[in-house]
Amino acid sequence: MIRLIEKLLELNNYDKLKNEFEEIFLSHPNYPSLFAITDTLDLLAVENIAANVPKDQLLELPESFLALYKEKLVLVSKSEKNIKIVDQDEVKQTLLFDEFTSDWNGIIVAIEPNESKIIKNKNYDLNGLKYIFPLLFLVLLSVFMNYYTLFDYIFLGTTIAGLIVSVFIAQENFGIKNTVVSKLCTIGANVSCDSVIKSEKNNFIKGINFPELPLIFFSTSLLSLLLKPSMSSVFLGFLSVLSFPVLLFSFWIQKFQIQKWCILCLVTSFLIAIQGVVWFFQNEFTLSFSPDIFVLFFVLLVSIYSIWKLIKPFIKDSIEAGHGLKQMKKFKRSYSLFNFLSKEVPVLDGFEDLKSLNFGNKDADLQLSIIVSPSCGHCHKAFQESFALVSKFPERVFLRVLFNVNPENNDNPYKVVVERLLTINKTEPSKITEAISDWHIKNLDLKQWTEKWNVNLVTMMVNYEIQKQYDWCFKNEFNYTPVTIVNGRLHPNEYDISELKYFLNEFAEESENLEKIIGPQNILAQE
């Protein structure tokens, strides 16, 4: 399912959001429902719609969308002549319009295409270069220090290619996703790298399963070639010929036992076969080897095997920890849990009368208030997360910023920040975003900030407002900052402010239900 949605994002120029979508979608409490899909798209600010469309309106739908076809989710690509669909098993079909509508129930999920040219530009993951450059350096150093024949270069090239493919096999075995590999491993109905690699039928050597063999073999081969290229090439060619029965056994398992093909496994087998054939037909064919190469290869093999057995548990633990984190996120995203952990504000009276710095839509379903102090380091994070939330969802979030500062404490050098912010908010409201951002986001020091944001006069009304906010906090025993209030309730400490985005739909639903019960006029009267 994830691959279908990621493909839909890709077709509509949201390539950058694919990884973020997967993380949020998998942790959604309602995964893998259609609601989880649309809710995740909402969180990523991707305009979308889920609807039951009359079948006669098929021609009016976008060029690509998700649909329920024969009770299965499919990705639909529409042209003027026909319909192309891809299901969750990567099975592709081309249908006429009538053929599609006969088994389509009318339900679709569509997204608004992203017209941004920035997003359209492909962003390639360059993290792999940090491994490629050291390997390239070792290869160049070996070529410079040793004499290589054409025969040696063939073995070096196939061994490096084999090592790269074997890393992909290991990743697939551990469940680590790779976009290119995922596409390659689901290229046809009879192709499934995951089914072959994780099959117990491959565990024909006790303690080592098939996915580990190529990684250990090619790692040992590469080190051996870099140290002794000419001696290693002949020896590795001989080993490749000896491994032909293992390759045939692998073919037999895929063809008759698992009945699925693993492209990565076939590429690995092909590379080993090339080495064996080249060795067999090369002019210097010989079965005599120096004892040194036996010792070298054996030492390297034992060393690499030992290292692998040592680090493998740590890799598995790290991956399992990642899965556990996703489950924890899924648990935290339960709105009933969020509600349970939220607490009543002890004294709510007078809260709406406090003059605050306001950002976003006043009629939004999420009414977020933060009480901060300019001398509080944690308040920087609270404002940054709150402001990021209202910036991303300006129509769905309303942010109020209040202050908890004792106006009678003249020894507090940061009191001037509150005085000037409230003054700027009253006299030049268009500049308040920049002023508060300079303090809480850009983190200007006190001298820089006061020099930039100088005001002529702090009025009595401003001082009175600071006193009112301080007194209200005192009544509630808020002798700390930041304090976060969400829709009239205290935000639970177990949640970051940024995690409120997960509950935007629930806040909207609550608001609608409340409006149905007491009516819109009464809601306005309460406010």
How many other β-carbons are positioned within 10 Å of the β-carbon of residue 515?
13
Strand order in the sheet with 357-360: 343-344, 489-490, 483-486, 366-372, 397-403, 357-360
User: Would you say 391 and 360 are in contact if contact means Cβ atoms under 8 Å apart?
Assistant: no
In DSSP notation, 409-464 reads -TT-TTHHHHHHHHHHHHH-GGGHHHHHHHHHTS---HHHHHHHS--S---HHHHH
In DSSP notation, 100-123 reads HHHSEEEEEEEEPPP--HHHHS--
Taken in order of first residue, the domains within the chain and their CATH numbers are 2-120 (3.90.70.10), 129-321 (1.20.1440.130), 343-526 (3.40.30.10)
User: Would you say 399 and 386 are in contact if contact means Cβ atoms under 8 Å apart?
Assistant: yes
* pTM for this prediction: 0.62
What does the block give as tokens for 8? 């839909």
How confident is residue 120, by pLDDT bands cut at 50, 70 and 90?
A: very low
Q: Between these two residues, 305 and 127, which has the higher pLDDT value?
A: 305
What does the block give as tokens for 514? 């409340």
Q: Identify the weakest region by mean pLDDT among 83-87, 115-119, 256-260, 408-412.
A: 115-119
Q: With 50 as the cut, is the pLDDT of residue 118 above it?
A: no
How confident is residue 367, by pLDDT bands cut at 50, 70 and 90?
A: very high
- Residues 204-258: tens digit of each pLDDT: 555 566 778 899 999 999 999 999 998 888 888 888 888 898 889 888 988 888 8
pLDDT of residue 116: 61
The sign of the CA dihedral 51, 57, 60, 61 is positive
- Residues 286-297: tens digit of each pLDDT: 555 677 888 899
pLDDT of residue 527: 43
Segment 17-42 shows an average pLDDT of: 82
Nearest-angstrom CA–CA distance, 316 and 480:
42
139 phi, psi to nearest 5 deg: -65, -50
Nearest-angstrom CA–CA distance, 480 and 488:
18
User: Would you say 308 and 473 are in contact if contact means Cβ atoms under 8 Å apart?
Assistant: no
- Residues 254-272: tens digit of each pLDDT: 888 888 899 999 999 999 9
